[in-house]
């Protein structure tokens, strides 16, 4: 009796153990992304000449000395909650897999966008993850694609939670037939100021993306203050996220929090690829990610491009590029003007940008070709297929684990019920037991019992014994043999459940452990391809630029007004004006950088007279808790008249008098804008 109770106790503990190991998840995902893949959205926007519409950025390589920092950061800021990783080797393998898959699946997005947007207007920008000079983790473009102005840039990462043990759970995963995209769609921080230029992002990285763009905007403005037109390239948002955006100062960390409400959010979702398409992977050029994700995501991107102000989104980078050829013209292009001498010269300069854009688009096309086609693409597809097989095996083991767990629980409950039920109740006969496993155990027990009965000499007692064996005996405190059998079955099932779970973990671990060298080799090959491509491209690119510069200087027109650097009379101290100057101060179109009375960095794009803003202007204030913009008429350096004010999450028309906000302006009021050709005044 005591032995049986102990056994029962052990059984229930094992069953509880089985329950805690899981109802094991079978690592499933959604069949299609949250982006509704409706009919294709058409492009309604025209980008200025020499400007890309979209640049796809992705992590392509981790430098050796950044590997451990990356793995630590990746484990420490896991998307999906918790701190992730338990085994550094496995985390490293998952990090390598993340890079490899991002390389591969980013091509799906490139292909979709390139097929739907005008020729040469989509570029690829692989990033190298490295340590910055201050020792923090960052990323830099491996090619010159991002030197071309673009209306939007799209960050794409195929993400996996950094803990192998959670692979079969609900955590984000990119493995086999599962892909978890982590994305950002951003424009330049000089437009969509209220959201720091972030148009859409995966929910967990919105703050990092906004923080990254904000930090970059501050850097750009500071550079302009020193007299140079330069638009920097922000690091990948996934890097900003896992490294905690170290480039944000403590005062500006609130940008991360505030930006959340101003940006279109994309939930983290595990997309499950169609198994039929997966089975045919590599047999044709079908893109397995297109139907469930890329098509819908491309629609989102195009719709965001359609609603983005392309002039503001590209003005600084275009001016930066034009400065390579013609510094006298560069700052004037920020606002532009209608004079024939300017228009003629600008037309030539734009054509140079277009030549650069076309040239670099060839590199993107060949990167795509190199990664997707040939042996390299074939190997990645083999890896995906192999992962799929592993995942399927683990799913099978999980299902077996679940069945064993369920059986263990049922058996334990059954055993417990029999053990504690009333003394005078009759036990069920074997035939009355519905569960086939329990019934089998009961029949075996009955057989054993009958054989035992045969040894009784007294015939009456022998008959009673056999009858009891067949009909189920009245329970007595010492007679819980069936309960014992059930307890044994429960114990074995629970043990089986744990065994399956362990085997599943081992299968996943073995695969990753074995595949690490192959993943590394594959990543290195992709890096070779990108590096080699960049070397070839860069040599010829420099040569092309020299030729373009010669051609430009041969055809150059004179300008009545040229851009120079002079003083902008800020409210507190002198700032910098890049543009038209007279007598050493701002006079005409250009951009002024100065600090306001609160000490915030201010960019003023528009017109100036006698050193201060005068006429239509677009002013961006980089406040510590987020940027805001004022667009309208200015006089004496301050807003004066109706202006449109954009802050985080709101756009409003306000009335200003000598820089003072006098309240809401009537709806439908027309504002002055420096970017409106022809009539710029409101």
Partner 1 sequence: MKQFLLTATALLLPTAALADTAPIMLTADQNEQCVTMMSGFPDDSPESRYVFFRLSQELAKDVTPELSQLMADFMIANETRRLPADWPMLDVIEDIADPVLRQAAPAQTVASMAHIAYFNALCGPFVQGQVDSLLAFSPDLAETDILIREDALYLRQILAEALDRLGASDNMAAQAYALSLVLERDDIEYIGFEDEIGELETLYMGDLDTKLSRSNDAVNEGINVEAFQDAVELANDMNDQAREQAQAERLYSLVRILGRVG
Residues that bind partner 1 (CB under 8 A): 3-4, 7, 10, 340, 344, 347-348, 351-352, 355, 358-359, 362-363, 365-366, 369-370, 374-376, 379, 382-383, 386, 390, 393, 484, 487-488, 491-492, 495-496, 499-500, 502-503, 506-507, 510-511, 513-515, 517-518, 521-522, 525, 528-529, 532-533, 536-537, 540, 543-544, 547-548, 551, 555, 557
Cα 211 to Cα 531: distance, rounded to the nearest angstrom: 29
Give the nearer residue to partner 1 in terms of CB position, either 199 or 519. 519
φ, ψ (nearest 5 deg) of residue 78: -65, 135
Q: Output the smallest distance, CB 541 to partner 1, in A.
A: 8
Q: Output the smallest distance, CB 540 to partner 1, in A.
A: 6
Give the nearer residue to partner 1 in terms of CB position, either 41 or 503. 503
Cα 178 to Cα 186: distance, rounded to the nearest angstrom: 26
Q: Output the smallest distance, CB 344 to partner 1, in A.
A: 5
Cα 230 to Cα 269: distance, rounded to the nearest angstrom: 37
Q: Output the smallest distance, CB 524 to partner 1, in A.
A: 10
Query: What is the chain's alpha carbon radius of gyration, rounded to the nearest angstrom?
Result: 34
Give the nearer residue to partner 1 in terms of CB position, either 513 or 582. 513
φ, ψ (nearest 5 deg) of residue 680: -95, -10
Report in angstroms the alpha-carbon separations of 504 from 174, 229, 399.
17, 56, 11
Q: According to the 3-state scheme, what is the secondary structure of 242-301?
A: HCCCCCCCHHHCHHHHHHHHHCEEECCCCEECCHHHHHCCCCCCCCCCHHHHHHHHHHHH
Give the nearer residue to partner 1 in terms of CB position, either 210 or 529. 529
Cα 605 to Cα 618: distance, rounded to the nearest angstrom: 5
Token pair, residue 405, equals: 């767990």
Task: Report DSSP state, residue 42.
Answer: P
Give the nearer residue to partner 1 in terms of CB position, either 431 or 542. 542
Sign of CA dihedral 477, 482, 483, 484: positive
Q: Return the half-sphere exposure (C-beta side, CA atoms, 13 A cut-off) of residue 140.
A: 9
Q: Output the smallest distance, CB 362 to partner 1, in A.
A: 5
Cα 112 to Cα 384: distance, rounded to the nearest angstrom: 20
Give the nearer residue to partner 1 in terms of CB position, either 262 or 383. 383
Q: Output the smallest distance, CB 60 to partner 1, in A.
A: 14
Q: Output the smallest distance, CB 276 to partner 1, in A.
A: 23
Q: Output the smallest distance, CB 378 to partner 1, in A.
A: 8
660-664 vs 650-657, strand pairing mode: antiparallel
Bridge partners (DSSP) of residue 140 are: 128
Give the nearer residue to partner 1 in terms of CB position, either 34 or 507. 507
Listed residue (590, 598, 533, 534) closest to 572, CA to CA: 598
**3-state SS class at 336:** coil
Q: Output the smallest distance, CB 607 to partner 1, in A.
A: 25
Listed residue (357, 78, 120) closest to 238, CA to CA: 78
Give the nearer residue to partner 1 in terms of CB position, either 69 or 177. 177
Q: Output the smallest distance, CB 654 to partner 1, in A.
A: 41
φ, ψ (nearest 5 deg) of residue 15: -60, -40
Q: Output the smallest distance, CB 522 to partner 1, in A.
A: 7
Give the nearer residue to partner 1 in terms of CB position, either 174 or 300. 174
Bridge partners (DSSP) of residue 428 are: none
Give the nearer residue to partner 1 in terms of CB position, either 538 or 662. 538
Give the nearer residue to partner 1 in terms of CB position, either 288 or 360. 360
Give the nearer residue to partner 1 in terms of CB position, either 358 or 676. 358
Q: Return the half-sphere exposure (C-beta side, CA atoms, 13 A cut-off) of residue 25.
A: 12
Contact criterion met (CB below 8 Å) for 199 and 308: yes
Cα 458 to Cα 448: distance, rounded to the nearest angstrom: 19
Q: Output the smallest distance, CB 314 to partner 1, in A.
A: 20
């Amino acid at each position: 009796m005591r032995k049986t109770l102990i056994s029962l106790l052990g059984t229930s503990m094992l069953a509880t153990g089985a329950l805690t190991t899981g109802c094991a998840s079978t690592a499933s995902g959604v069949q299609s992304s949250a982006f509704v893949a409706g009919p294709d959205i058409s492009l309604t926007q025209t980008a200025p000449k020499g400007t890309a519409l979209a640049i796809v950025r992705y992590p392509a390589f981790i430098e050796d000395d950044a590997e451990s920092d990356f793995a630590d950061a990746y484990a420490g800021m896991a998307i999906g909650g918790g701190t992730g990783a338990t085994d550094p080797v496995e985390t490293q393998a998952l990090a390598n897999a993340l890079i490899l898959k991002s390389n591969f699946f980013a091509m799906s997005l490139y292909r979709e966008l390139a097929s739907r947007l005008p020729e040469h207007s989509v570029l690829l920008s692989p990033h190298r993850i490295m340590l910055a000079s201050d020792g923090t983790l960052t990323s830099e473009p491996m090619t010159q694609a991002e030197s071309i102005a673009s209306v939007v840039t799209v960050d794409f990462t195929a993400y996996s939670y950094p803990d192998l043990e959670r692979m079969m759970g609900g955590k984000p995963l990119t493995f086999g037939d599962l892909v978890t995209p982590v994305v950002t769609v951003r424009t330049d921080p000089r437009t969509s100021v209220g959201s720091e230029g972030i148009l859409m992002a995966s929910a967990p990285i919105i703050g990092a993306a906004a923080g990254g763009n904000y930090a970059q905007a501050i850097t750009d403005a500071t550079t302009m203050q020193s007299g140079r037109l330069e638009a920097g390239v922000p690091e990948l948002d996934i890097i900003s996220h896992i490294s905690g955006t170290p480039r944000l100062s403590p005062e500006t960390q609130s940008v991360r929090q505030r930006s959340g409400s101003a940006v279109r959010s994309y939930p983290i979702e595990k997309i499950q690829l169609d198994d039929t398409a997966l089975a045919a992977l590599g047999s044709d050029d079908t893109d397995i990610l297109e139907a469930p994700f890329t098509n819908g995501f491309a629609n989102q991107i195009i719709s965001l491009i359609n609603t983005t102000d392309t002039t503001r989104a590209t003005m600084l980078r275009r001016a930066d590029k034009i400065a390579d050829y013609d510094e006298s013209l560069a700052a004037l292009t920020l606002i532009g003007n209608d004079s024939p001498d300017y228009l003629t010269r600008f037309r030539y300069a734009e054509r140079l940008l277009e030549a650069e854009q076309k040239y670099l688009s060839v590199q993107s096309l060949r990167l795509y070709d190199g990664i997707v086609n040939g042996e390299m693409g074939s190997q990645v597809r083999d890896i995906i297929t192999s992962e799929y097989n592993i995942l399927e095996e683990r799913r099978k083991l999980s299902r077996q684990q679940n069945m064993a767990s369920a059986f263990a629980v049922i058996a334990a409950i059954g055993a417990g019920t029999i053990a504690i039920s009333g003394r005078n109740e009759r036990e069920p006969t074997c035939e009355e037991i519905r569960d086939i496993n329990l019934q089998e155990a009961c029949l075996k027990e009955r057989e054993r019992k009958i054989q035992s009965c045969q040894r009784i000499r007294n015939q009456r007692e022998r008959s009673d014994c056999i009858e009891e064996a067949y009909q189920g005996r009245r329970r007595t405190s010492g007679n819980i043999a069936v309960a014992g059998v059930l307890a044994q079955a429960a114990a074995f099932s629970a043990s089986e459940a744990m065994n399956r779970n362990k085997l599943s973990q081992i299968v996943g671990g073995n695969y990753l452990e074995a595949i690490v060298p192959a993943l590394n080799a594959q990543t290195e090959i992709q890096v070779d391809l990108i590096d080699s491509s960049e070397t070839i491209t860069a040599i010829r690119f420099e040569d092309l630029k020299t030729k373009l510069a010669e051609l430009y200087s041969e055809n150059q027109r004179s300008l009545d007004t040229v851009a120079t650097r002079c003083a902008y009379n800020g409210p507190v101290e002198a700032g910098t004006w890049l543009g038209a100057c007279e007598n050493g101060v701002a006079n005409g179109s250009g951009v002024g950088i100065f600090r306001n009375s609160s000490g915030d960095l201010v960019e003023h794009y528009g017109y100036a007279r006698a050193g201060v803003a005068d006429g239509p202007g677009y002013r961006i204030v980089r406040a510590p808790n987020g940027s805001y913009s004022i667009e309208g008429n200015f006089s004496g350096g301050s807003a004066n008249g109706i202006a449109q004010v954009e802050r985080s999450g709101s756009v409003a028309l306000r009335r200003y008098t000598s820089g003072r906000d006098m309240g809401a302006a009537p709806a439908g009021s027309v504002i002055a804008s420096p970017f409106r050709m022809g009539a710029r005044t409101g």
